[in-house]
Structure 1
Amino acid sequence: MVKIIDGCFEATSHTSIICDFSPPRSGDPGSVEQSQIDVDFISVAYNPGKSVRTNSAMLAAAIKQKGRETVFTLATRDMNKLAVQSQMLGAQILGLQNVVVVKGDPFGKNDRSLVRPVNDYQPTELISSISDMNKGQDFKGGKLETPTDFCVGAVVDLGNPIEDEVKLAVRKIKSGAEFLITQPVFNVDHVARYRESYGYHSDRPGTHPVYFGLQILEKDGVLFSSVPESLKDELEKGRPGLDIALELYENFQAARLNNVYLMPPIKRGGARDYKAVKDFLQKANRI
């Protein structure tokens, strides 16, 4: 299996693309076929929509058996320390090496009558904990029979105040994150400000890959982050989301953003449009 740090642009000198993939609300093995997308890595999301879905690590292992490199996502919201570290050992047995740590969306009032958050870890703490497992130590200070070998990633949102996100990114990297993924980027100028600020705050600027989020928009679809009103207007007037995504990709290439986190359109109800991803990839290869 290829680690993110070995498959990124910095290691290969080729554009590297991770595609977001939503686990199904079933245990149907046939759902794995949707993941046959020609990208460098398939990233399996963690219970999107706070709904019951296939476990991200188990699905990532099933996709890996089909010949795709994978990443699985792990949220701190739902498991205590014992459960999390046991899951990580299970992921290692399944041959997985890439994991992205997130907090997980908070449960709303209606959710809390049915399910309780755990949050034994904050994301930065879990990243540090996995780093300790890579050194052969569990959360109790006990010695693992075999150290794990995970490449850990973390998430930042350039739509938030840049200074705050940079400080958070620095903490995550110092805790052991080896790569970062951003929420969708619609203005590459935000990236320039992030890079400048990161270089100021970090003692190791530019030493880790960052995958910049690129979402294929859809009119009336679900959005990962705030979208500029100008793009919303273009969608309302009938401009295809695929066309907008290709223009954004050109901007990425011009700004040398060579690691891309590609997000398919999300329809109301949560269904992903993976055909749009395949159409995007076919046309992006000509750019």
Structure 2
Amino acid sequence: MSLKSALESGKFTVTAEVGPPKGTDIAKILHEAEALKGKVDALNVTDNQSAVMRISSMSFCKLLLDMGQEPILQMTCRDRNRIGLQSDLLGASILGIRNVLCMTGDHPNAGDHKEAKPVYDIESVQLLNIVRALNSGKDMMGNEMKGGTDYYQGAVVTPEAVPIEPQLMKFEKKVNAGAQFFQTQAIYDIEKFKGFMEFAGKFPVKILAGLVLLKSAGMANFMNKFVPGITVPQELIDELKEAGKEKALDAGIDIMARHIKQLKDEKICDGVHIMAIGAEDKVPLIMERAGLL
């Protein structure tokens, strides 16, 4: 079943994230992706995540397709201008990739090539408009093409940002630009997320709540201090501390499973996007504890 079919059928949809490696040894990530086959509805493939040079998202999406997986091509505006982005979108389409997540992308200062010049010829809303144009058989300048694309368009939003108003405005712009589904940045406060969903529920789009696996109290404190738009409540940090270093990861798995179950049981959103970040092998266990397997 395609991601679009899963979401539009009303199924509580689960996506996960895989980050291509820095180098050509793909044995580990292929093994992790294979372990998720038949469990998640789609796999995001990151695009030089955190501005660190890695295997391209498009090539790894093709490998997932060949494995019988449903890939989501993440595409950022950092490394390519509007010509390059459109060219890659056409290329991904003829490879059979049907889902694209449009993002602006982290600045190179955050990565391992700090002297790289960022492109940012366009940003995420404009990229969504480009995808919509390509789907209609035209390029962004309105020129007719010999065959269009058929992408299911995704975007991101940060529901716990403070202040939230700029995010809500950007959300609406992305919907108007053609976004059909959203994967959120990490959420940890379900009650606050419910408030966001009261706003988002007015629009004809699907929402997947983003959940990042907490591996330690230190990780939670780091995110609170350095990652804008993410707030880990103190009670969750205390829960991780009480578990101790050896059992902190297991406590983090329990926290995520509990949140997934609440989101599903209370029908708060359309599904979840699991970001295990280096612990992708734990995704089946998370889903099992959440009652999804």
TM-score (normalizing by structure 1): 0.88
Q: Structure 1 residue 254: deviation in Å?
A: 3.3
Does 1:84 pair with 2:85?
yes
Secondary structure of 2:44's counterpart equals strand
Cα distance in 2 between the residues matched to 1:211 and 1:110: 27
Q: Which runs of 5+ in 1 are unaligned?
A: 200-204, 267-271
Q: Structure 1 residue 228: deviation in Å?
A: 1.9
Q: Structure 1 residue 40: deviation in Å?
A: 0.5
Relative distance call for 1:146 and 1:193 in structure 2 (3 A) is same
Alignment partner, residue 96 of structure 2? 95
Q: Structure 1 residue 111: deviation in Å?
A: 6.1
Cα distance in 2 between the residues matched to 1:207 and 1:228: 31
Find the partner of 2:167 among 154, 165, 168. Answer: 165
Q: Structure 1 residue 84: deviation in Å?
A: 0.5
Q: Which runs of 5+ in 2 are unaligned?
A: none
Relative distance call for 1:252 and 1:110 in structure 2 (3 A) is closer
Q: Structure 1 residue 275: deviation in Å?
A: 2.0
Contact 2:264 2:271 in 1 (8 A): no
Alignment partner, residue 216 of structure 1? 213
Does 1:207 pair with 2:204?
yes
Identity across aligned pairs (percent)?
Answer: 26
Cα distance in 2 between the residues matched to 1:110 and 1:50: 4
Relative distance call for 1:197 and 1:61 in structure 2 (3 A) is same
Please show how residues 48-197 of structure 1 align to structure 2 within 5 Å: 48-108=49-109, 114-160=115-161, 161-197=163-199
Alignment partner, residue 231 of structure 2? 226
Cα distance in 2 between the residues matched to 1:185 and 1:109: 22
Deviations 1:94-126, CA, capped at 9 Å, x for gaps: 100100011111232886752000001111011
Does 1:43 pair with 2:48?
no
Alignment partner, residue 274 of structure 2? 262
The 10-residue stretch of structure 1 (101-110 or 112-121) with the greater mean CA deviation from structure 2: 101-110
Cα distance in 1 between the residues matched to 2:282 and 2:264: 20
Secondary structure of 1:67's counterpart equals coil
Alignment partner, residue 284 of structure 1? 290
TM-score (normalizing by structure 2): 0.86
Alignment partner, residue 33 of structure 1? 31
Relative distance call for 1:195 and 1:281 in structure 2 (3 A) is closer
Deviations 1:162-202, CA, capped at 9 Å, x for gaps: 33222211110100111111111212222322233346xxx
Cα distance in 2 between the residues matched to 1:167 and 1:286: 34
Secondary structure of 1:142's counterpart equals coil
Query: How many residue pairs are counted as aligned between the two chains?
Result: 273
Q: Structure 1 residue 252: deviation in Å?
A: 1.1
Q: In structure 2, what residue type is equivalent to 1:259?
A: G
Secondary structure of 1:139's counterpart equals coil
Contact 1:188 1:255 in 2 (8 A): no
Alignment partner, residue 12 of structure 2? 15
Cα distance in 2 between the residues matched to 1:56 and 1:111: 17
Contact 1:5 1:209 in 2 (8 A): no
Q: Structure 1 residue 282: deviation in Å?
A: 2.1
Secondary structure of 2:115's counterpart equals coil
Does 1:252 pair with 2:259?
no
Q: Structure 1 residue 210: deviation in Å?
A: 0.5
Cα distance in 1 between the residues matched to 2:138 and 2:117: 28
Cα distance in 1 between the residues matched to 2:111 and 2:96: 37
